[in-house]
C-alpha cells in the first residue's frame, strides 16, 4: 500500500516546524512534501536586526532543504486547492506551467500578509517588516536618507529626511523603532553634518499604551527608555493617510517624513480567500484539534488560522496570538494529530501555556514577562537573546547569529548601501532561431511586443488545420489570455533571431485601467487575428 501523502503549504514557523515534527513522529509511515514560494525559512523576530545591520541577512534565514533533510521541498506558487479531488494546484518553473499534487492530509500554514489598503497612500509609500526583502529595503532607505541629509543645504528637506515614523506599538513596531534608532545613533559619527538633535524618530500607537500584550509597568518602562533615547512615543492616535512626503493623523495633524514603516494591518492572503473554507476574522476557522471546520483531513495553524484556546466559548472565547512561540507549539500539535490519524489513534486537543513574552527595545535593553516574573533592562535583553538562540533552527545558524551579536558589541555598524537592482515594468528577452518561447498549457506572464525578428504561433485547430500566425516588429500577443486568465493553446517559436519586450502582467492590467484608450485599441483588433479558441471565449462572455 502507498504511504499517505502529507502536503504542507507554507515554510514559516508553522509549516516548517510541522514538517520537522511530523518527520520525527511518523517519518516511516508517511510521505511529506512542503510547498513554499521561497526555498528558505525566515526567522522573522530577527528582521529588525537585519534592517539595523546587527546581523547579516543570510544569518536570519535557513534553507528549507537543510532544515528538513528528509522532507520533499518544492519551490512553487500555490494557486488553489480542490478539496473534492484532494489536489493542490501550483505554478512551477520559469514557464509557470500549472501542475498539481494529490494529498491525503493537507496542512495550510501560509500565514498572512500586511494589508496596506486600509489607509490611502500606504501601499505606495509605506515599508513593511514581513520578510527579508522588507528588512533589506528599509536598511538601504535609511542609509540613503542619511547620505542625502548630510550633504543637502535645504533645511526643510533635511528635517524631512531625518524623520522616521513607525506605525504600530506592538512587538514588531517597538523592536523596529528601537533597532532603527540604535543603528542611526551609532552611525552618526560618519556623518559630520548630522547631530542627534536632528534625528526625529516617532512611534505611533492606536491604543493607549505600547506593548499591550505585556504588563502596563513593562510598557511604561519601554516607553521611558525609548523616549530617553530620543524616540517620540505617540499613543491614542493613528495614521489615516500618507504621501511621499507627509503622513496625516486622525487628529488632523501631519508629520513631514520620507520614511514610514507599517507593522499593523494584517490580512488574509489571496490563497486563503480563494479556499472554500469557513473564515472568521479573516482567518481559517479550526476546531480544538486544529482541523479545518467541516474536514477530517485538512489542518491549519499559525497566522492563517483562528486557533481557539481552552476555556470560555462564544463571544468570550480566546484565540492563540500570532506569535512564533504559539506557531511552534501548534505545529507540534498538528504533527502529532496527523500521526495519530494515520495510526488510527484518538486526536488530542491543542493546549499551551506560554512560557513568557519578551521584546527588545534596542541599546541592550528589553522587557520580559516570564513565568509571572516581570524583568526589564539588561537581564531581560540577555534572556531575550538566549530565548531566540534556542529557537533558531540548526547549530550553524545559532553560531553565526551569536557571533554577529558578539561582533556588533565591539565593532562599528556598516553603512554600506547595497541597493538591489530596481525591477523595471518592462523586460527584454532575446531568442535565437528555433527557440521555443511558450508551449500549450502555460499561464501568460505578460504582454509581449516584438521589437525585431520574427515569431510563429501555431495552435492546433479542431478541423485538423493548424492556426498559424506570424508576428513581426510591432506585433503583440498575450492581451486576450491575460484578460480571460486563460492558458496558452499553442506553441510560439522564433523563426529567426528576435528581440521581444514584455510588460509584466500586473503592470499591463494597471496600465489598461489607467489608460482606457488601450481598451478601445484592443477592441478594434480583428477577431481573425486570434485563434478560434480565443474567439469562442469572447463569444461566450458576450
CATH architecture of 122-264+364-376+404-410: 3-Layer(bba) Sandwich (3.50)
Read off the pLDDT of each residue in 137-149 and give the average, rounded to a whole number: 94
Of residues 132 and 109, the one with the higher pLDDT is: 109
Mean pLDDT value of segment 87-115:
91
Pairing of strands 77-82, 259-262: unpaired
- Phi, psi torsion values for 449, nearest 5 degrees: -130, 130
- The answer, yes or no, to whether residue 539 has pLDDT greater than 50, is no
Measured distance CA(529)–CA(469) in Å, rounded: 8
Q: What is the pLDDT of residue 535?
A: 54
CA–CA distance, 152 with 158 (Å, rounded to integer): 7
Alpha-carbon distance 21 to 328, whole Å? 10
Looking at residue 542, its pLDDT comes to 37
Handedness of CA 202, 204, 208, 211 (dihedral sign): negative
The per-residue pLDDT for 39 is 93
**pLDDT above 90 for 90:** yes
User: Residue range 245-268: average pLDDT?
Assistant: 93
Q: 534 or 331, which is more confident?
A: 331
pLDDT at 3: 93
Spatial separation of the C-alpha atoms in residues 22 and 6, rounded to whole Å:
9
The alpha carbons of the chain give a radius of gyration, in whole angstroms, of: 26
Helices within 261-302 (DSSP H only): 270-274
User: In terms of Cα–Cα distance, which of 286, 240, 290, 279 is closest to 262?
Assistant: 240
pLDDT at 252 over 70: yes
Domain assignments of the chain as residue spans, ordered by start: 5-37+76-113+267-354, 122-264+364-376+404-410, 426-541
Range of lowest pLDDT (36-40, 378-382, 521-525)? 521-525
Whether pLDDT at 43 is above 50 = yes
Grid cell in block for residue 203 = 512611534
C-alpha cell at 256: 513631514
Residue with cell 514581513: 130
Contacts with 469 (C-beta within 8 Å, 6 or more apart), sequence order? 456, 457, 459, 477, 529, 531
C-beta of residue 370 within 8 angstroms of C-beta of residue 215 = no
Instruction: Compute the mean pLDDT over every residue in the chain, rounded to the nearest whole number.
Output: 89
421 pLDDT above the threshold of 50: yes
What pLDDT, on the 0 to 100 scale, is given for residue 388?
A: 85
Residue pointed to by grid coordinates 524583568: 375
CB 19 within 8 A of CB 32: yes
213 or 153, which is more confident: 153
The full 3-state SS of 70-125, as one line of letters, equals CCEEEECEEEEEECCCCEEEEEECCCCEEEEEECCEEEECCCEEECCCCCCCHHHH
* pLDDT at position 48: 92
pLDDT of residue 288: 95
Residues 156, 159, 162, 164: what is their CA dihedral angle, to the nearest 10 degrees?
A: -100
Q: What average pLDDT does range 262-275 have in this prediction? A: 91
Q: For position 418, what pLDDT does the model report? A: 73
Q: Do domains 5-37+76-113+267-354 and 426-541 have the same CATH topology?
A: no
Instruction: Please report the pLDDT score of residue 529 as a whole number.
Output: 66
pLDDT digits (tens, 9 = 90+) for 453-485: 999 988 887 667 788 889 999 999 888 888 877
Is residue 361 over pLDDT 80?
yes
Question: Do 178 and 361 touch, CB atoms closer than 8 A?
Answer: yes
Contact (CB, 8 A) for 426 and 501 = yes
Longest Cα–Cα distance of the chain, Å, equals 80
Please state, in angstroms and rounded to a whole number, the distance separating the CA atoms of residues 456 and 494.
Answer: 6
Does residue 333 carry a pLDDT above 80?
Answer: yes
Give the percent of the chain with pLDDT over 90.
60
What's the pLDDT tens digit per position in 269-281?
999 999 999 998 8
Helix, strand, coil shares of the chain, percent, nearest 5, are 35, 30, 35
Residue position matching grid coordinates 510541522: 18
Q: Which residue has the higher pLDDT, 331 or 409?
A: 331
Q: What is the pLDDT of residue 308?
A: 93
Q: First and final CA of the chain: distance in angstroms?
A: 50
Residue 95 has pLDDT above 80, yes or no: no
Distance CA 115, CA 268 (A): 8
Comparing 99-103, 241-245, 298-302, 458-462, the range with the smallest average pLDDT is: 458-462
CATH no. of 426-541: 2.60.120.10
Residue, of 261 and 388, whose pLDDT is higher: 261
The CATH number of domain 5-37+76-113+267-354, selected from 3.60.21.10, 3.40.190.10, 3.50.50.60, 3.10.20.30: 3.50.50.60
Between the CA atoms of 436, 440, 443 and 448, what dihedral angle is there, to the nearest 10 degrees? 40
User: Which residues in 441-479 are b (16+ Cβ under 10 Å) and which e?
Assistant: ebbbbbbbbbeebbbbbebeeeeeeebebebeeeeebbb
Share of the chain above pLDDT 70, in %: 94
C-alpha cell recorded at residue 282 = 479573516
Query: Kind and range of the H or E element at 509?
Result: helix 505-514
Are residues 283 and 89 in contact, defined by beta-carbon separation less than 8 angstroms?
no
Residue 107 contacts residue 301 (beta carbons within 8 Å):
yes
Kindly provide the b/e burial profile for residues 405-434, where b requires at least 16 CB atoms within 10 angstroms of the residue's own CB. Answer: eeebeeeebebeeeeeeeeeeeeeeebeee
Task: Give burial (CB, 10 Å; 0-12/13-18/19+) of 54.
Answer: buried
Residues 133 and 115: their CA atoms lie apart, in Å, by: 17
Please say if the pLDDT value at position 197 is more than 90: yes
| Mean pLDDT of all residues in 156-169 | 95
Q: Read off the pLDDT of each residue in 359-366 and give the average, rounded to a whole number.
A: 87
Amino acid at each position: 500500500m502507498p504511504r499517505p501523502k502529507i502536503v504542507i503549504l507554507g515554510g514559516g514557523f508553522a509549516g516548517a516546524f510541522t514538517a520537522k515534527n511530523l518527520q520525527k513522529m511518523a517519518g516511516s509511515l508517511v510521505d511529506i512534501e512542503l510547498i513554499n514560494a521561497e526555498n528558505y525559512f525566515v526567522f522573522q523576530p530577527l528582521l529588525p536586526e537585519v534592517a539595523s545591520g546587527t546581523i547579516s541577512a543570510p544569518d536570519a534565514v535557513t534553507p528549507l532543504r537543510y532544515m528538513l533533510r528528509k522532507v520533499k521541498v518544492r519551490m512553487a506558487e500555490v494557486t488553489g486547492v480542490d478539496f473534492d479531488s484532494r489536489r493542490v494546484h501550483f505554478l512551477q518553473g520559469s514557464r509557470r506551467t500549472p501542475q498539481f499534487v494529490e494529498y491525503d492530509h493537507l496542512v495550510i500554514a501560509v500565514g498572512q500578509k500586511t494589508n496596506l489598503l486600509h489607509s490611502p497612500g500606504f501601499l505606495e509609500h509605506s515599508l513593511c517588516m514581513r520578510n527579508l526583502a522588507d528588512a533589506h529595503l528599509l536598511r538601504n532607505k535609511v542609509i540613503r536618507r542619511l547620505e542625502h541629509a548630510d550633504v543637502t543645504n535645504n533645511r526643510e528637506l533635511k528635517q524631512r529626511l531625518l524623520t522616521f515614523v513607525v506605525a504600530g506599538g506592538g512587538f514588531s513596531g517597538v523592536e523596529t523603532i528601537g533597532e532603527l534608532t540604535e543603528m542611526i545613533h551609532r552611525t552618526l559619527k560618519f556623518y559630520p553634518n548630522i547631530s542627534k538633535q536632528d534625528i526625529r524618530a516617532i512611534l505611533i500607537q492606536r491604543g493607549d499604551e505600547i506593548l499591550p500584550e505585556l504588563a502596563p509597568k513593562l510598557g511604561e518602562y519601554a516607553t521611558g527608555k525609548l523616549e530617553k533615547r530620543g524616540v517620540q512615543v505617540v499613543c491614542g492616535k493613528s495614521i489615516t493617510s500618507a504621501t511621499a512626503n507627509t503622513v496625516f493623523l486622525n487628529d488632523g495633524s501631519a508629520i513631514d517624513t520620507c520614511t514610514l514603516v507599517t507593522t499593523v494591518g494584517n490580512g488574509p492572503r489571496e490563497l486563503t480567500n480563494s479556499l472554500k473554507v469557513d473564515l472568521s476574522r479573516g482567518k481559517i476557522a479550526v476546531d480544538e484539534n486544529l482541523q479545518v471546520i467541516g474536514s477530517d483531513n485538512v489542518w491549519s495553524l499559525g497566522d492563517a488560522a483562528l486557533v481557539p484556546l481552552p476555556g470560555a466559548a462564544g463571544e468570550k472565547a480566546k484565540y492563540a496570538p500570532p506569535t512564533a512561540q504559539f506557531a511552534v507549539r501548534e505545529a507540534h500539535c498538528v504533527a502529532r494529530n496527523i500521526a495519530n490519524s494515520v495510526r488510527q489513534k484518538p486526536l488530542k486537543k491543542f493546549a499551551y501555556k506560554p512560557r513568557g513574552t519578551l521584546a527588545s527595545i534596542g541599546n541592550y535593553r528589553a522587557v520580559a514577562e516570564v513565568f509571572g516574573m516581570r524583568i526589564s533592562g539588561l537581564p531581560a535583553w540577555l534572556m531575550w537573546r538566549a530565548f531566540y538562540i534556542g529557537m533558531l533552527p540548526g547549530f550553524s545558524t545559532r553560531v553565526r547569529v551569536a557571533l554577529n551579536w558578539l561582533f556588533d558589541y565591539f565593532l562599528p555598524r556598516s553603512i554600506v548601501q547595497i541597493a538591489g537592482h530596481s525591477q523595471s515594468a518592462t523586460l527584454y528577452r532575446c531568442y535565437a532561431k528555433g527557440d521555443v518561447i511558450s508551449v500549450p498549457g502555460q499561464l501568460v506572464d505578460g504582454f509581449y511586443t516584438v521589437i525585431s525578428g520574427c515569431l510563429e504561433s501555431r495552435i492546433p485547430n479542431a478541423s485538423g488545420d493548424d492556426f498559424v500566425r506570424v508576428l513581426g516588429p510591432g506585433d503583440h500577443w498575450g492581451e486576450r489570455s491575460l484578460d480571460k486568465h486563460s492558458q496558452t493553446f499553442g506553441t510560439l517559436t522564433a523563426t529567426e533571431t528576435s528581440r521581444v519586450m514584455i510588460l509584466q502582467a500586473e503592470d499591463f492590467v494597471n496600465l489598461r485601467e489607467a489608460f482606457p484608450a488601450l481598451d478601445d485599441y484592443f477592441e478594434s483588433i480583428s477577431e481573425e487575428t486570434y485563434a478560434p479558441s480565443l474567439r469562442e471565449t469572447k463569444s461566450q462572455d458576450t
